[in-house]
Amino acid sequence: DVKVTQSSRYLVKRTGEKVFLECVQDMDHENMFWYRQDPGLGLRLIYFSYDVKMKEKGDIPEGYSVSREKKERFSLILESASTNQTSMYLCASSLLGGSTDTQYFGPGTRLTVL
């Protein structure tokens, strides 16, 4: 089974802090994604990566950056956390770049910014 793990299930940070959310997949997938999930808005794509050191902006990249130094690891960085970044963050991976590929999701990190 594909396993996507996220470093924390719950995280509480203060405004202005730099926050790192880590995601690791164990199935040699090429593609990795970061989504934000908010009630009534569904999932919105923040960033994605098709290869190591490659990244592309999604629909809501403002205030976020990403890093993919190794194929299995994709990090989401909040350079200076703000209260409007309080949300559930979901990481996903897929095998190749095909449009019909299944995405496999981690359990999510619920981030609260005070």
Binding site for other proteins (CB under 8 A): 4, 33, 35, 40-45, 48, 56, 58, 90, 92, 97-100, 102-108
Find the radius of gyration of the CA atoms of the chain: 13
CB of 27 to other proteins, least distance (A): 14
CB of 70 to other proteins, least distance (A): 21
Nearest C-alpha neighbor of 106 from the set 19, 15, 18, 27: 27
CB of 105 to other proteins, least distance (A): 3
CB of 18 to other proteins, least distance (A): 25
Please give the C-alpha separations between residue 52 and each of 4, 27, 72, 95, in angstroms, as whole numbers.
17, 15, 9, 14
Minimum CB distance to other proteins smaller for 58 or for 63: 58
How far, in Å, CA of 45 to CA of 29, rounded? 18
Minimum CB distance to other proteins smaller for 92 or for 113: 92
Q: Nearest 5 degrees, angle CA 51-CA 79-CA 108?
A: 60
Minimum CB distance to other proteins smaller for 75 or for 109: 109
Minimum CB distance to other proteins smaller for 48 or for 74: 48
Residue 1 tokens read as 């089974």
